[in-house]
Each structure stands twice: as C-alpha cells, then as structure tokens.
C-alpha cells in the first residue's frame, strides 16, 4: 500500500504532493513501482496535528481521486475518519476506507461502508492524534489491542460489513511508546492468527530512529527491515512511503527463502 498524503503537514511527506499534478504523478509512479493499493489521505494524523474540516479534506483528496480513477488499474483507499469524506471519495472511485479511529470517529461511517459495499481497514488508536502520545499506557499492549480488533470486527459484522471486506491494523505509532510498537511488531503472528487480512503501518515512524539511536537518521532502511519481518510473520498489507525499494526488498527476500518462515 503506497502512501499518498495530499496534506501540508504530514510527519514525513507533508507538502510534497499538495499540487494535484504532483500527487497524480506520484501515485502513477507508485503503481509502476509495484504498489497494489494507493492510500490517499487529506488530513494529517501525526502526533499533535490539527484536525481539518470535512470540506477542506474533500477539497484535497477528491480532485486527485477524480484524475487517478481513469489511470490507475489498482484500488484506491481513502484514509479518513469522516463519513462525508469517505462517501465523496467512494463516489469518485475509492474502493477501500482506511479509518484510523476503527469506525468510532464518525457514527455515519459504518453505513457508508455498508451502503457502498467497499472494504474497510479498522485500526486501533489510543486517544486522538492530539492526545495519543501524551502518556500511552497499557497493562498488556498486545492482548488489549488484540481484544479491541476482535471487538471492532464483530461490530463491523453486526453493522452488515462482511468479514471478507474487513482488514485489521494494530496502529503502530498511534498511542504507543517505542517499546509498545516493538512488542506489537513482534506479535505480528498473533494478529495474523485472528484470521483477517492484517495491515502494518510502520513506514518512517519514530521508533525506527529510536532503535537506530538517531532520530535524524534516514529511516528507509529501517522501514525495509521491519517490512521484511512483518512479511515473514504473515502480514498481508505493508503501508509504506517508499514503494520501489520495498517491492524490490520483498522480491529478493522471497527469492532467498525469507517468506518460507511464515506460519
């Protein structure tokens, strides 16, 4: 899943794809580089980011989706927690809703997903982007998030969303310390065992700099290392900024027998 943030303030690529032409060209290049999904977001969810209105978010993402729909041959995912934005994006051609609030942020979101028959990625986040990194606490981070994801899947099914359209995401970096993130990644097989497609969104995040001992380090190599570990553990979707090196690393990892480790 290639990340396309059409925002001025996302933590890693804010401002790079604000122009519609730039965003479209980037998405087409991601497809050429081997992406299977393009995830388009119009509101930053980095720690302490400021929320934007639905109108502003729509104005950022809809023109890009409109232009991409006749050019991409892979699905578009809309990264939003607002039902109105999701509805407009689906009308423009998006096929997946990627909701960082686990469909809890907007009471209309479940009906949007049901009414349009799209897929949904349900993520765990403790708090909101404005509060999630203040002091994230868990007694058992893996068990608590596992229970949360199972409960949200049950909620989605009760709303009428078929299980085969539900993807789960433990929410790396969303209301977690660096150690929480590492514990969750080491438990990837446990989340895979829940039986739904698993998305891991680790690309360029702060825990990588922590492990490397340098928060200013280029995090691409670290991202690739986590991608390989997650793939070996059975994760289905890797949400990344750097599609080409990720695809190439996975191709060689598989050729060398690395994916044979999967349960």
Task: Count structural domains, the chain.
Answer: 1
Q: Are 249 and 227 in contact (CB under 8 A)?
A: yes
Percent above pLDDT 70 for the chain:
95
As a whole number of Å, the end-to-end CA separation of the chain is 22
Asked if the model's pLDDT at residue 10 lies above 50, the reply is no
Q: What are phi and psi of 233, to 5 degrees?
A: -85, -5
The DSSP string of 23-74 is HHHHHHHHHHHT-S-EEEESS--STTPPP--HHHHHHHHHHHHHHHTTT-SS
pLDDT of residue 128: 76
Catalytic-residue membership of 239: yes
Tokens 């934005």 — which residue?
85
Q: What are phi and psi of 201, to 5 degrees?
A: -115, 85
Asked if the model's pLDDT at residue 165 lies above 90, the reply is yes
Asked if the model's pLDDT at residue 15 lies above 50, the reply is no
- Give the other-Cβ count within 10 Å of 176's Cβ: 25
- HEC states along 182-246? HHHHHCHHHHHCCCCCEEECCCCCHHHHHHHCCCCCCCHHHHHHHHHHHHHCCCCEECECCHHHH
Q: Give 206's contacts (C-beta < 8 A, 6+ positions apart).
A: 173, 178, 215
Annotated active-site residue in 239, 244, 251, 262: 239
Q: Give 205's contacts (C-beta < 8 A, 6+ positions apart).
A: 172, 173, 181, 219
Asked if the model's pLDDT at residue 9 lies above 60, the reply is no
Residue 222 sits in a domain whose CATH number is 3.20.20.20
Annotated active-site residue in 82, 152, 153, 205: 205
Residues 196-239 pLDDT 10s: 999 999 999 999 999 999 988 899 999 999 999 999 999 999 99
pLDDT band at 28 (very low <50, low <70, confident <90, very high): very high
Query: Over the chain, what is the mean pLDDT?
Result: 93
Q: What are the strands of the beta sheet with 96-99, ordered from one edge?
A: 2-5, 38-41, 76-79, 96-99, 119-123, 166-169
pTM (two decimals): 0.92
Domain containing residue 75: 2-261
- Alpha-carbon distance 157 to 263, whole Å? 27
Asked if the model's pLDDT at residue 16 lies above 90, the reply is no
């Amino acid at each position: 899943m290639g990340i396309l943030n059409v925002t001025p303030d996302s933590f890693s690529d804010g401002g790079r794809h604000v122009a519609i032409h730039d965003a479209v060209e980037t998405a087409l290049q991601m497809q050429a580089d081997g992406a299977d999904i393009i995830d388009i977001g119009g509101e930053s969810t980095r720690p302490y980011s400021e929320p934007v209105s639905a109108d502003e978010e729509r104005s950022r993402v809809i023109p890009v989706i409109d232009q991409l729909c006749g050019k991409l041959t892979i699905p578009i995912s809309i990264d939003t927690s607002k039902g109105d934005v999701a509805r407009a994006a689906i009308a423009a051609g998006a096929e997946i809703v990627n909701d960082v609030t686990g469909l809890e942020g907007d009471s209309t979101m479940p009906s949007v997903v049901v009414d349009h028959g799209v897929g949904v990625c349900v993520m765990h986040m403790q708090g909101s982007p404005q509060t999630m990194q203040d002091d994230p606490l868990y007694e058992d981070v893996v068990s608590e998030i596992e229970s949360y994801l199972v409960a949200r899947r049950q909620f989605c099914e009760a709303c009428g969303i078929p299980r085969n359209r539900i993807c789960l995401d433990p929410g790396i970096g969303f209301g977690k310390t660096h150690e929480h993130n590492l514990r969750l990644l080491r438990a990837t097989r446990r989340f895979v065992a829940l039986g739904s497609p698993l998305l891991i969104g680790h690309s360029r995040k702060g825990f990588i700099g922590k492990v490397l001992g340098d928060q200013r380090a280029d995090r691409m190599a670290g991202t690739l290392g986590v991608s390989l570990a997650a793939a070996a553990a059975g994760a289905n979707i890797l949400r990344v900024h750097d599609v080409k090196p990720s695809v190439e690393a996975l191709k060689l990892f598989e050729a060398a027998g690395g994916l044979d480790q999967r349960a």
